[in-house]
Amino acid sequence: QTKWDLPAAYPATNFHSVNLATFASDVAKATDGKLAITVHPGASLFKAPEIKRAVQGGQAQAGEILLAAYQNEWQMFGADGLPFLATGYDDAMKLYKAQKPILEKKLGEQGMQLLYTVPWPPQGIYSKKAVTSAADLKGSKWRAYSPATSRIAELVGAQPVTVQAAELSQALATGAVEANMTSGATGVDSKLYEHLKFYYDVQAWLPKNAVIVNKRAFDALDKATQDAVLKAAADAETRGWAASQKVNTDTLAVLKANGMAVEPPSATLKADMMKVGDTMLKEWLEKAGPEGQAMLDGYKK
């Protein structure tokens, strides 16, 4: 019997983690228990930023990572974190198809293999005050938790503020943070509706979680087991994309039920944000080079 450890960063009840648990039990069933995958959710084995290198170095055979978080390392990882490039699930799937071969090649060079990806629900704008145009965000304290979110803040003239997820709740209560950009799902998980009253469903981007496996660990499996893993991964991908859409609908309803105004962006806000997106795409292309352009052409085709 082969045993794999699969660290993941999100709580056991999160839909990504639930999907992972099903994936692990599918593999166990399909291989008659020959491959046992232990999922370690909630950062109980490795913390989020450590998971990729733990898989790369063989400390864990597989793991779940947020691709866009690794943009600092390689621009292409951040392609699904570019605001307003792919909004909505259909576009996100198209982007994934354009991104996939490049991702697979890079992960292969790093001694890893991509098993499947599942997107988070689309990212919207949470705000204390009503926002009808980007000008309304000027000067408001905007939580910057990634290079992209801090750049957006700069472009709309908001004040980027560093507050860790753990302290977000208190920072919102005291007004240290007045605006935040994340999905409806994360908004429900961190109970943003307790302090912020407006949600604008701008569908800025759909960042993907990727489940990756160490190449040596995968190659050490026999062919039948490898096929079982790939089959279970394909199923998990289909299941995960559907689950994500359902979570999106459900959580937006929860936000509403908790007294939030959940609205589509006004035409002005949408146009303003598209401009931000264009600027950031241009900046990204400068850094990502021909590889980025090729992926973009593939996506726009």
Residue 272 interacts with other proteins (CB under 8 A)?
no
Contact region with other proteins (CB under 8 A), list: 173-181, 267-275, 276-284, 290-298: 173-181
Give the β-pairing of 62-66 and 112-119: unpaired
Q: In this complex, which beta carbon is closest to other proteins, that of residue 174 or of residue 223?
A: 174
What is the rounded CA–CA span in Å between residue 197 and residue 217?
A: 48
> If we measure between CA atoms, which residue out of 248, 287, 281, 296 comes closest to residue 95?
296
Helices (H) and strands (E) in the chain, counts: 9, 11
Give the β-pairing of 141-143 and 62-66: unpaired
What is the rounded CA–CA span in Å between residue 134 and residue 61?
A: 45
Residue 12 interacts with other proteins (CB under 8 A)?
yes
Q: How many CB atoms lie within 10 A of CB 108?
A: 12
- Sites for other proteins among residues 119-138 (CB under 8 A): none
Binding mask 71-90 for other proteins (x = CB under 8 A): -xxx----------------
Would you say 66 and 209 are in contact if contact means Cβ atoms under 8 Å apart?
Answer: yes
Residue 38 interacts with other proteins (CB under 8 A)?
yes
Give the β-pairing of 261-263 and 198-200: parallel
Contact region with other proteins (CB under 8 A), list: 11-19, 119-127, 129-137, 201-209: 11-19
Would you say 210 and 67 are in contact if contact means Cβ atoms under 8 Å apart?
Answer: yes
Contact region with other proteins (CB under 8 A), list: 29-37, 38-46, 84-92, 207-215: 38-46
The residues, any chain, with a CB within 8 Å of residue 129's CB and separated by 6 or more, are 136, 140, 178, 198
Contact region with other proteins (CB under 8 A), list: 92-100, 154-162, 229-237, 261-269: 154-162
What is the rounded CA–CA span in Å between residue 28 and residue 44?
A: 22
Position among 33, 101, 105, 167 found at the interface with other proteins (CB under 8 A) = 167
We find the least distance from the C-beta atom of residue 264 to other proteins, in angstroms, to be 27
The residues, any chain, with a CB within 8 Å of residue 110's CB and separated by 6 or more, are 56
We find the least distance from the C-beta atom of residue 153 to other proteins, in angstroms, to be 8
Residue 107 interacts with other proteins (CB under 8 A)?
no
Position among 164, 259, 282, 290 found at the interface with other proteins (CB under 8 A) = 164
Q: In this complex, which beta carbon is closest to other proteins, that of residue 80 or of residue 237?
A: 80
Residue 59 interacts with other proteins (CB under 8 A)?
yes
| Residues binding other proteins (CB under 8 A) | 3, 5, 11-13, 38, 40-50, 53-54, 56-59, 69-70, 72-74, 110, 139, 141, 144, 146-147, 150, 154, 159-167, 169-171, 173-176, 189, 191, 194
